[in-house]
Amino acid sequence: MEKVLIIGANGHTGRIIATKLKDAASYIPVAMIRDAGQKDYFEEMGVQTCLGDLEEEFESCYKTVDKVIFVAGSGSSTGKDKTESIDKDGAQKSVDLAKKHGIKKYVMLSSMGAEDPDPDSGMHHYLSAKNLADEHLKKSGVPYAIVRPGALTHKNGTGKIKAAFQLEEQGEIPREDVASVMIHCLDRDYGTGLTFEILSGDQDIPTAIEGLRQV
């Protein structure tokens, strides 16, 4: 059994990942929380926690884990300073710690548009921060997968997606399906060294990711 640190565990997608990993045969989730008040939620569902803050100190969370899923984000209601400190600086520091502690696989939640942020977009600052974090991970030497979904929804997952290194369309995808993709990428045989975009589609997740590996 491998322990998986979920950075951003208390967010919508992070909670879904924690729930799914709790019942997985090969993984034990460890939810990184910033506030001790968040501990009860996870412990009631049988998920371990560790205290860590992306803007301060969180290295202690790495001491007993094997792999990392990063789904943290500053949120749409915060300013550019939080985007900088969490989506870029915090993410980059988490990658550096992954390298320092010999993490076997790091799965990063990014965003469509992060490959080449549009300077005229209202999301340019956010996408630029994501781009810098992604590039830092790519150059780190840590085995990785970078998942770039379209607009996230709270709909029920279907288990069906479309995936490409760059999709020539915009669209949506349920958070549940994004969570499933990221968990699937924890396996070193799937998605390692890949950066890809996903939307809702008609292929099951393993087939869609396997198709990328064969390109």
Catalytic: 126? yes
CB 196 within 8 A of CB 148: yes
Distance linking the first and last C-alpha atoms of the chain: 31
Distance CA 44, CA 140 (A): 36
Phi-psi region of 50 (alpha: psi -120 to 50; beta: other; left: phi over 0): beta
Of 27, 62, 106, 126, which residue is the catalytic one?
Answer: 126
Report the alpha-carbon distance of residue 10 to residue 17 in Å, rounded. Answer: 10
- Residue at token pair 């709909």: 155
For residue 168, CA distances in Å to 118, 120, 123, 144, 184 come to 15, 19, 19, 24, 24
Pairing of strands 203-204, 160-164: antiparallel
Q: Which residues are catalytic?
A: 126
